[in-house]
Amino acid sequence: MARGKLRIYLGAAPGVGKTYAMLAEAHRRIERGTDCVVAFVEHHNRPRTEVMLHGLEQITRKDLEYRGSQFTEMDVDAVLRRAPAVALVDELPHTNVPGSRNAKRWQDVEELLEAGIDVISTVNIQHLESLGDVVESITGVRQRETVPDEVVRRADQIELVDMSPQALRRRMAHGNIYKADKVDAALSNYFRPGNLTALRELALLWVADRVDEYLQQYRGEHNIRSTWQARERIVVGLTGGPEGRTLIRRAARMAAKGSGSEILAVYIARSDGLTAASPKELAVQRTLVEDLGGTFHHVIGDEIPAALLEFARGVNATQIVLGSSRRKSWQYIFGPGVGATVARESGPDLDVHIVTHGEVAKGRGLPVARGARLGRSRIIAGWLVGIGGPALLTLLLTSIDVDLGLANDMLLFLTLTVAAALLGGLMPALASSAFGSLLLNYYFTPPLHQWTISDAKNIVAIVVFVSVAISVASVVDLAARRTHQAARLRAESEILSHLAGSVLRGENSLEALLETVRETFAMEAVALLERESDVTPWTCAGSVGPRAHVGRPEDADVDVPVGDHMALALTGRVLPAEDRRVLAAFAAQAAVVLDRQRLQSEADQARTLAEGNRIRTALLAAVSHDLRTPLAGIKAAVSSLRSEDVEWSE
C-alpha cells in the first residue's frame, strides 16, 4: 500500500488561521468528491472556526481518564477502521494523555500515513524542536510541546498561513482568538508587535529553506548549470592564509544584510600538494565559518580560478568574496592574480568582491606557472639544465683556448635555454635566460669580466636572446596545458560514451558500475547508500572495494547526492572539482541501474505469479468441465423436487 501524503499549514503564531484554512481545504475536497473526515480538530470556542466544522464528518474521540480528570484524544483505531481518503488532524505537536496509543500526535499521524491515508495538519513555527531556544529568547516562553523538524520537512506540501502583526493584534482585540478576559494580557505579553514580527520572520525563513531544497532538486534533475539568483549564496575563496578570517567575517556581514543568505567557504588545494596550507589555520577557519552559520568545503583543482568558478556555479552561488593578492608588484609580470581571473571569467551571473586585508602585497613566493602539467621530474630536470647547463658551458668555453665568437656563444646558451623550456616549462627557461645573459655579459661580451657592455650591437643580441628564450618557454607551457586539457576532455568523452552505451545496452550490474567508478577515479572503495526518509539510517545498496563499510555519506572522502535519499560515497582521496561533473553522471547512472535491478526483480516475481495464475486457471477450467455434467443433473433433480405442481411419494 502506498504511503499517504502529508499537507501542513504552518503559521507564525496562534490565531493566524491555520485551522480555518485546513477546514476550508476539507470543504473544497468534499465538493470535488473526496472522502474527507475530521479525525481531530480543536476549534477553541472560536465561532468562525466552529461554523466551518458543519457539514464535515467527525470521527468520535476516545475518552481517557488521567489523575481523576476526563480527557478526549484522537481515536486512531477508529480512523483506521473508517479508512477515509483524507483525515484532518489539528495541532501536530500535541502531547497525548498518558495511556494513549502514542506519546505524541505526530506519531499518530505517522500511523495514518503508513496506512495510506492522506493527512492535513497544522503546526506553529514556535513548536519546531530546533527553534525552541530561539523562540524562548524572543518571547520568554518555553514551548513544552514540540515536533521534530524532520517530521515537518518530510511533508509533501507545506503552506504558510501568514498575517501581519497588526492584523493579528486586531483579530485578537475583536475577540476572534481568545475570550475577552484574556485579550489584554495576551496583547501585552506574547502578542507584542516585536514578538510577532520575529516569529513571522522565523516562519518565512524556515519555509524559504524548504523552497530552496525543492529548487536545488529541480536544478539537479534538469542539469541546469547557470546561476538562478533566487537567493543570495556567498562563496568565500580561501588560500589557507591568515587573511581568510577577514574574508569570512566580511562575507558574514554581507549575508546579514540579506535575510536567508548562505555562506560557503571553499579551500582549493593543488593536486600535487605543493601549495598546501597550514592544517591548523584551516581548522581555525572551518570553526569560524561553522560558528557563523556557514559551511566549509575542501576541493582539489590545479587551475584555482576555474575550480572556484566551477564550485560556485555548482552550488548556485550569487556572489564570490576573494582577498586582495598577497603578491608583490613585480610578480604580476607572471600573469594576473586569481581575483582578476575570476572576475574576468565569472560572467554576468556572479558578482565578485575583492576585499583588502592586512596581508596585501607581503609576498608569497614566486608563482608557479598557471596550469603547468609537466610533472615534477621534468620540472626538476628543467631547472638543472637551465641553471647548471650555462654554468658548465661557461666553464668549458673559458677553459679551452678557442674563440667561437659572441654569436656562436649565444646560440650555445640559447640551446640550453630552449632545452630547459622543453623540459621544465616557463620558470626554468626564464631563470636560464636571465642567468645565461649574465654569464654572456661577464665572460664573453667586451669588456670582459665586467658588467658593462661597450658595443650597442651586443646589447641588442642579448635582448634578442632573452626574448627568444621567453617565447619558446611560453609556447612549451601553452602546449603542455593544451595537451593536458585535450587528454582530459578525451577521457571524459570516453567515459560518458561508455555510460551512454551501458544505458542503451541495458546493463543491470550495479557492482560492475561501481567497480568502473573505483577504477576510473583511482579510489579504494565505492558504495551506493540509500535511506527511506530523512530520519532513517543509511543502508548500503551496493559496494565494491576493501573499505566499503561507510555508514554515512559524510564519512566518505567524496559524496555525491542522488536525489533526496540516495548518495554515492567514495573512499580513498579528495577529488578535483572538475572530476565531480563526470562523477555526477556515474551517480545518476548508479541510481538508474539500482532501479532497473529492482524493477527486474519485481518483473520476475510478477512473471512467477502470472505463471501460477495460469496454471490455477487451467486447473479450474478442467475441474469445472468435469463437474459440469453431474452438476447439471443435480440441478435438474433438485429443481424437480422443489416444484410445487408435482406430488412426490415418500
CA–CA separation, 448 and 608 (whole Å): 98
CA–CA separation, 393 and 399 (whole Å): 10
pLDDT at 331 over 60: no
pLDDT at 358 over 50: yes
Q: Of 433, 504, 437, 446, whose CA–CA distance to 474 is shortest?
A: 433
pLDDT tier at 109, thresholds 50, 70, 90: very high
pLDDT at 139 over 70: yes
The mean pLDDT value for 398-408 works out to 76
Q: What is the DSSP string of 607-633?
A: HHHHHHHHHHHHHHHHHHHHHHHHHHH
pLDDT tier at 99, thresholds 50, 70, 90: confident
The mean pLDDT value for 176-204 works out to 75
Contact by Cβ (8 Å): 97, 61: no
Q: Of 6, 180, 194, 189, whose CA–CA distance to 110 is shortest?
A: 6
**Residues 6-221, CATH architecture:** 3-Layer(aba) Sandwich (3.40)
The pLDDT, as a whole number, for residue 549 is 66
The mean pLDDT value for 144-165 works out to 87
Q: Which residue has the cell 480528570?
A: 69
The pLDDT, as a whole number, for residue 622 is 77
Quick: pLDDT tens for 461-475. Answer: 777 777 777 777 777
pLDDT at 361 over 60: no
* CB proximity list for 124: less than 8 A, separation 6 or greater: 10, 11, 12, 13, 14, 18, 93
Name, of 36-40, 439-443, 635-639, the range with top average pLDDT. 36-40
Quick: pLDDT tens for 282-292. Answer: 888 888 888 88
pLDDT at 366 over 50: no
Helix 193-221 × helix 132-139 angle, to 10°: 150
Task: Read off the C-alpha cell for 352.
Answer: 565578485
* CB proximity list for 188: less than 8 A, separation 6 or greater: none
The mean pLDDT value for 326-351 works out to 71
Q: Which residues of 179-213 are buried (b: 16+ CB within 10 A; e: fewer)?
A: eeeebeebeeebbbeebbebbbebbeebbeeeebe
> Fold identical between 6-221 and 233-355?
yes
Q: What is the largest CA-CA distance in the chain?
A: 156
Cis peptide before 447 (omega within 30 of 0): yes
pLDDT at 457 over 80: no
Its CATH class, for the domain covering 233-355, is: alpha beta
Q: How far is CA 45 from CA 22, 51, 292, 566, in A?
A: 17, 10, 45, 46
pLDDT tier at 275, thresholds 50, 70, 90: very low
pLDDT at 489 over 70: no
Task: Read off the C-alpha cell for 475.
Answer: 609556447
Domain map of the chain by residue range?
6-221, 233-355, 376-481
pLDDT at 117 over 90: yes
Contact by Cβ (8 Å): 20, 48: yes
The mean pLDDT value for 382-396 works out to 87
The mean pLDDT value for 241-262 works out to 80
Q: How far is CA 526 from CA 207, 491, 631, in A?
A: 35, 20, 66
Task: Read off the C-alpha cell for 361.
Answer: 602585497
Sign, CA dihedral 8-12-18-19, equals positive
pLDDT at 368 over 50: no
Tally of CB atoms within 10 A around 543: 20
Contact by Cβ (8 Å): 399, 442: no
DSSP state, residue 330? G
The pLDDT, as a whole number, for residue 273 is 46
Task: Read off the C-alpha cell for 387.
Answer: 641553471
Rounded to the nearest 5 percent, the helix, strand and coil shares of the chain are 55, 15, 30
Name, of 20-34, 125-139, 257-271, 398-412, the range with top average pLDDT. 20-34
pLDDT at 371 over 50: no
What region, left, alpha or beta, does residue 471 occupy, with left being phi > 0 and alpha being psi -120 to 50 degrees? alpha
The pLDDT, as a whole number, for residue 416 is 85
Query: Torsion over CA of 131, 132, 136 and 138, rounded to 10 degrees?
Result: 10
Sign, CA dihedral 41-45-46-48, equals positive
Backbone angles phi, psi at 238, to 5 degrees: -110, 145
| Burial classification of residue 159, based on how many CB atoms lie within 10 Å of its CB (0-12 exposed, 13-18 middle, 19 or more buried) | middle
The pLDDT, as a whole number, for residue 548 is 57
Q: What is the CA radius of gyration of the chain?
A: 38
pLDDT at 330 over 60: no
CA–CA separation, 150 and 147 (whole Å): 9
pLDDT at 106 over 80: yes
Quick: pLDDT tens for 607-636. Answer: 888 888 888 888 887 777 777 778 888 888
CA angle, 228 as apex, 227 and 231 as ends, to 5°?
115
Percent of the chain with pLDDT over 90: 12
Q: Three-state SS across 430-444? A: HHHHHHHHHHHHHHH
The pLDDT, as a whole number, for residue 502 is 60
Contact by Cβ (8 Å): 219, 317: no
Lowest-confidence region among 156-170, 200-214, 217-231, 357-371: 357-371
The pLDDT, as a whole number, for residue 274 is 41
pLDDT tier at 24, thresholds 50, 70, 90: very high
CA–CA separation, 430 and 436 (whole Å): 10
The mean pLDDT value for 553-575 works out to 80
The pLDDT, as a whole number, for residue 648 is 74
pLDDT tier at 367, thresholds 50, 70, 90: very low
Single pTM value for the model: 0.42
Quick: pLDDT tens for 499-550. Answer: 666 655 555 577 777 877 776 777 788 888 888 877 778 888 888 876 656 7
Q: Of 32, 34, 41, whose CA–CA distance to 5 is shortest?
A: 34
Q: How far is CA 554 from CA 264, 325, 532, 557, 571, in A?
A: 17, 33, 17, 8, 11
pLDDT tier at 223, thresholds 50, 70, 90: low
